[in-house]
Homo-oligomer: A and B are copies of this chain.
Amino acid sequence: MNPQSDELDWQDARPLYQVKADMFKGLAHPLRVRILEVLAGGDEVPVTELMRATGLEPSHLSQHLAVLRRHRLVVSERRASFVYYRLAFPEVAQLLTVARRLLVLALEESQDRLSATESLPEIGLQQVPG
A residues at B contact (CB < 8 Å): 10-11, 15-25, 27-30, 32-34, 37, 72, 88-89, 91-92, 94-96, 98-103, 105-107, 110, 114
Contacts and interface: CB of A to CB of B under 8 A. Distances in A.
Contacts of A30: 15, 17-18, 20-22
B106 A20 contact: no
Q: For the complex, would chain A's binding face be called helix, strand, loop or mixed by DSSP majority?
A: helix
Given A89-B106, A100-B16, A102-B92, A33 B10 contact: no
A100 to B, nearest CB: 7
A107 B101 CA distance: 27
B28 A25 contact: yes
Contacts of A23: 99, 102-103
A50 to B, nearest CB: 14
Contacts of A18: 30, 33
